[in-house]
Amino acid sequence: MRFRIEKKLNSISFKTLLAFFVSMILSISLIVFVLDAVYFFKNSIFSETDVNDFAKNFSQEILYNKEGIPERMGLELEYPWLFESLVQEAAYRVIDQSGKVVLYSAAGASFWSSVDIAHPITTGPFKFEHEGVLMDAATAKAENGGKSWFVQLAVSRRFMFFSHDTFGFRFVRSGVVIFSLVLLLVFFFCAHFIVRHTLKPLRELSESAALISPRSLQARLENNNLPTEIAPLVISFNHTLERLEHGYRTQQEFLSTAAHELKTPLALIRTQLELMEETEERNWLLNDANYMSRQVQQLLLLAETSEFNNYNFIVVDIEYVVNEVVCYLQRMAEAVKVNFVVKDYSNGSQWRADRGALFTLLKNLLENSIQHAPAGTSILIAIYSNKIQVRDWGSGIDESQLPLLFTRFWRGDHRRDIGAGLGLSICQEIAHVHDWSIFAQRMEPGLLFQLVVNISDD
């Protein structure tokens, strides 16, 4: 469980999503912090700015009579109660170019008693006090019929703060919360989709790389349509595969060449030893020569079975091949008083395989069973449509040794000869090339080997 959590935390997708999520949270927190700071300090700049902007818009709503003189404000048609109900908090007046007031709001001229009309009249914000209440005011200019008119608008600062506190900031705060939740949900789904789409080439590359084995070193990873950050890694990986393939081919060629070169001198040594007078020393040397010849032959066979190009796949009758192997090893089995029992349940099934490789695989399995089967016992070969079972009634092996059975040069106890320890490794190589499964199972007594093939592929 702990390993899974650490693996998840170390993934690129998780780190990317976490980075975007943290960035989003910080951005939202910054907005909330600024709003709270504005609310806490209640800076007059916002009040003055709001009144100035409102005055500019308000000046464009002047309604003129036939003579082109302002007679009313358009906003009062929509909200006639506005300046009548708030006579102590808001007022306006309209001034002509000469400085004469031509229009007042319901608050009248007394509201503006403390404000002098300057010449020339300038636009922009200003402030004054009315009956001890601080007013934020602004002057805006309007043009009509070649004449200029100036609208002065004043709103008490306490009313502006009340509006901000009661309506503005509260609605803004609620809006930020709702907006943040919606943004987080939308962001999560969008970011998750984008990250999955962006990392899809990496997953495909990982799957392709996992399929590469010593038997498919000629394969290469596709570097088309990859992100520019990933392409150099894929190119380097392909170059590494080229070097590995070259090294593997060189190793296989050396193994095959060495085995070929050793066969002839070993054959000559055996011949010379066989012609010598029989002594204990000569017998020991002959046994060593036989062992070396067998090991060289197995090495050569292992090199050949590891190369896919050496296989010629055809449709073979599995029962016929099994009987052929049994006949080939009959003398070897009789020499140690072991019998073969063949049971055919295949109903004439045929497999697609290399005939020679299949013969070698079955021969090695039966030779292994012969080496471990006690005298007077039998070796059972059961043939099914999709598998072959080989069982002996020998001493078997420990459960802990089962994973070592197909390891190169590993030899178990209780065998009659001193084999090279490559027979079962060769079986495994052949099975892998054919995409078959081969495994062993402890029995009481003995050992059971199973070779399983997928009939649908054949």
Does some domain include residue 219?
A: no
Listed residues 160, 185, 219: the one ending a domain:
160
325 and 448 both lie in a single domain: yes
321 and 293 both lie in a single domain: no
pLDDT, tens only, 251-282: 666 666 666 666 667 777 778 777 788 788 87
Strand, helix or coil at 123?
Answer: coil
347 and 449 both lie in a single domain: yes
Tell me if 256 sits within 8 A of 237, measured CB to CB: no
pLDDT, tens only, 178-188: 777 787 778 77
State the Cα–Cα distance between residues 280 and 268, nearest whole angstrom. 20
Does some domain include residue 323?
A: yes
Residue corresponding to tokens 């007022």: 91
398 and 433 both lie in a single domain: yes
428 and 365 both lie in a single domain: yes
Write the DSSP string, 379-436.
Answer: EEEEE-SSEEEEEE-S----GGGGGGTTSTT---SS-SS---S-HHHHHHHHHHHTT-
452 and 410 both lie in a single domain: yes
Residue 228 DSSP one-character state: T
- Among 323, 314, 365, 368, CA closest to 344: 323
143 and 174 both lie in a single domain: no
325 and 392 both lie in a single domain: yes
186 and 117 both lie in a single domain: no
State the Cα–Cα distance between residues 140 and 151, nearest whole angstrom. 5
pLDDT, tens only, 120-162: 888 999 999 998 899 999 999 999 888 999 999 999 988 887 8
Does some domain include residue 320?
A: yes
190 and 275 both lie in a single domain: no
Q: Is the pLDDT of residue 421 over 80?
A: no
- Among 46, 53, 81, 82, CA closest to 161: 46
**What does pTM read for this prediction?**
0.48
- Among 407, 414, 411, CA closest to 373: 414
330 and 400 both lie in a single domain: yes
Listed residues 301, 327, 350: the one ending a domain:
301
- Pairing type for strands 378-383 and 339-344 reads parallel
Domain at 103, CATH number: 3.30.450
Does some domain include residue 218?
A: no
- Pairing type for strands 147-156 and 90-95 reads antiparallel
Number of domains observed in the structure of the chain? 4
Domain that holds residue 408: 311-457
